Amino acid sequence: MFQALRHSLRRKKRPAKQQQRARRKHAHRIESLEKRMLMVANLQAMLTTEHVDLNIASDGEQWSIGPRNSSARPAIQYANDAAAMYVGAPAEMSRPVNAEYDFIGVGPGESFYLLPQHQNPDLLFLGFASGGITDSLDSYDASGESKGRVSAAVGEWIKVALSDVAHTNPDGTIGDGDLSIWQSGVFGDAKVFM
């Protein structure tokens, strides 16, 4: 009891500026929803744990890419701006220390989000598909450019180049970040694709 009394007396003796700072530290900020742009207002789907392919399509004149929920039966194809792919806390991990992972874009021990190369029921399982492509495209030997993923055979391949990576924060502002694509080898070595 005396310790509590001494503690409360000590608090009362603090200068007014210190008391003001302590109050400010514990103050709450109220923000009206009207000032925030809610991302989900125009979305048809929020994809969080599904098998999603970035599906490339062509109608013969124009190309498009959009998320395809391959877990749904039948699969659901969304326009590029109609579905959000969310990667949250279950995918967060710390970057390994060894220099082999410098390509990721964060320093050793810093957090980044990792999507699995084998399906995990708690995470988005992201891939690529070309379900909207006809066989009218030219064929070429992709073995040289595939870094060993494709054997030396001429086939129907699509070459896609990534020109920009952007994401939107929940408050509607444009975020920053890096994208890396790699696959773990048999002995844990990273086979970097992008």
| pLDDT range class, residue 80, cuts 50, 70, 90 | confident
Contacts with 80 (C-beta within 8 Å, 6 or more apart), sequence order: 64, 65, 66, 67
pLDDT digits (tens, 9 = 90+) for 30-52: 554 444 445 555 788 889 899 99
At residue 129, the pLDDT reads: 83
Share of the chain above pLDDT 90, in %: 13
For the chain, the structural domain boundaries read 2-92+110-156
Assess contact for 144 and 136: CB atoms under 8 A. Answer: no
Residue type, 188: G
Q: What mean pLDDT is reported for the chain?
A: 75
Angle (nearest 5°) at CA 25 between 22 and 30: 135
pLDDT digits (tens, 9 = 90+) for 149-185: 666 666 667 777 788 777 777 677 887 777 888 888 7
| pLDDT range class, residue 189, cuts 50, 70, 90 | confident
Better-scored residue on pLDDT, 157 or 13? 157
- 4 has a pLDDT exceeding 60: no
Assess contact for 160 and 56: CB atoms under 8 A. Answer: yes
